[in-house]
Structure 1
Amino acid sequence: MTSYVVSFPIRDTVVRSDNNIPWVLAMHSNVVSIFSCFRRAAATCRSISCNTGNDLSLWAKERVLAPYISSERRNRIERVLENRTRNVVVVLEHLHSKGNENAVYRSMDALGFQEAHSITADEESEAGQASGDPRTDAGARKWLQIRKWHTTRDCLLHLKSRGYQIIATAMNNRDNSSLPVQDVDFDNKIAFVFGAEKDGVSDLAVEMADVCCFIPMIGFTQSFNVSVAAALILYETRMRRIRMFGRNGDLTDEEKRSLLVEFYVRALTSSKARRVLQKYKYDATDSSMTENI
């Protein structure tokens, strides 16, 4: 028999569940409050027991983790989630410099973009692409959802199937129809593709793109460093979205709750908290942030 005790802000009210059957014991003059409490108790019990064994629901994981994180940290995480979006994603195609890749992730985190896709050859992945450099990413990588790919075609087909408009960052394409970034249509979900430092995006990426865009330049040089280009385009995107929609963040409640739990895990510094997670068969070292991207 498993019992859960949950206290609500109603005087002398205790909610108890034995074998998933909620019982409400209340000493309160207002009968309506008792029935309201009963409904809340039933919902609580269903949420707690939604998984079998000791596995916890997102609702329960949040409450297990929250006591181990300061209120200031929790408030900051909630503010970050309010300003996050996955409707604009970044694709990095065969970047050679680890520093450039991490700098892009740092800009993404700072400007509120949650999802990235990194296309790397097998040997590049084996060379240590999964690790971050604190000098360039400032710890940003752990707060993002990053999925690895081995081919450009697979990555872009996946994003197209999810409804993203593919925008390759290229000064010139075959029909010279590349647009200044400020002329891009921001009404749709967007995936910006940034190419390698020397050669830029591949011919395949340009061919599969719905449109190409570039950053207008007025100097002798005709290109930016890839991490600088990404920062400029993402900043322009953020400001355009704020002007159009009133805000950049647009995560659903379900997405926020899922990321909240993942952010709590990443914010943990207490070994005791990690032992609590392990007790409930939740591995704090294993990320599930890429499951749905």
Structure 2
Amino acid sequence: MDELNRKSVEEFKRSDKTPIIAVLENIRSAYNVGSVFRTADAFLLEAIYITGYTCIPPHKEIKKTALGAEDTVEWKQFPNATEVIRLLKEQGYKVYAVEQAINSISLEKIALGNNEKAAFIFGNEVTGVEQATIEQCDACIEIPQLGMKHSLNIATAAGVVLWEVIRNRISQNR
């Protein structure tokens, strides 16, 4: 662990977080939820907000894929996305739905300032982000996909989007 320069739980909780929040709306698979927790830990995200019927910790399937990140990453549960979006906007966050939609912006074109607060909403594995939720967001972003399939697993999509945001911030700090 020392050679990998990993933080302890206490060090993680004291660390300055990236002002990014992942919002999980109606995620069916607890394994996907756990994977997003692990990604949020890897990138020092501020929090995960959970809404709809997405399961919450403690849960054995979340634990299996989160590998302890459910204990390090701050999370909050909300009854619906409207409440989450209202709170985020009041706190100065730009809110993005991650969804293939008319007028969506390609992921590589999103340029956030180094300290800009942003939240990314990831939706249900089959139906995506709810239309009513999309309509409340500042914009919709889409991951470019070049093959025959035009969808990604939600945990994979979260990893791609969150890494792109973090990668851009790392580049700005060099």
Tell me by how many angstroms 1:245 deviates. Answer: 3.3
Query: Which residue of structure 1 aligns with residue 79 of structure 2?
Result: 150
Q: Looking at CA atoms only, which structure, 1 or 2, has the larger radius of gyration?
A: 1
Higher helix proportion (structure 1 or 2): 1
Q: What is the CA distance between 1:94 and its match in structure 2?
A: 0.9
Tell me what 1:130 maps to: 57
Contact kept? 1:84, 1:113, Cα under 8 Å = no
Pairing 1:24-63 to 2, within 5 Å after superposition: none
TM-score when normalising by structure 1:
0.53
Structure 2 residue aligned with 1:182 = 108
Using the size of structure 2 for normalisation, the TM-score is: 0.86
Query: What's the % identity of the aligned pairs?
Result: 25
Find the counterpart in structure 1 of residue 90 from structure 2: 161
Query: Does 2:40 correspond to 1:111?
Result: no
1:106 offset after TM fit, Å? 0.7
1:225-252 deviation line (CA, Å, top 9, x unaligned):
0000001111111110111234xxxxxx
**What does 1:194-209 correspond to in 2, within 5 Å?**
194-209=122-137
- By relative contact order (CA 8 Å, sep 6+), the higher-ranking structure is 2
Q: Aligned partners of 2:161, 2:168: CA distance in 1, in Å?
A: 10
Correspondence for 2:29: 97
Give the alignment partner of residue 222 of structure 1, picking from 142, 150, 159. 150
In the alignment, the residues of structure 1 paired with residue 23 and residue 63 of structure 2 have an alpha-carbon distance, to the nearest angstrom, of 21
How big is the alpha-carbon RMSD for the aligned residues of Structure 1 and Structure 2?
Answer: 2.3
Alpha-carbon distance in structure 1 between the residues aligned to 2:82 and 2:19: 20
Q: Partners in 1 of 2:68 and 2:168 — Cα distance?
A: 27
Structure 1 position 134, deviation (Å):
3.1
Which consecutive segments of 4 or more residues in structure 1 shift more than 6 A? none
5+ residue gaps, structure 1, are 1-70, 247-293
One-letter amino acid of the structure 2 residue matched with residue 180 of structure 1: S
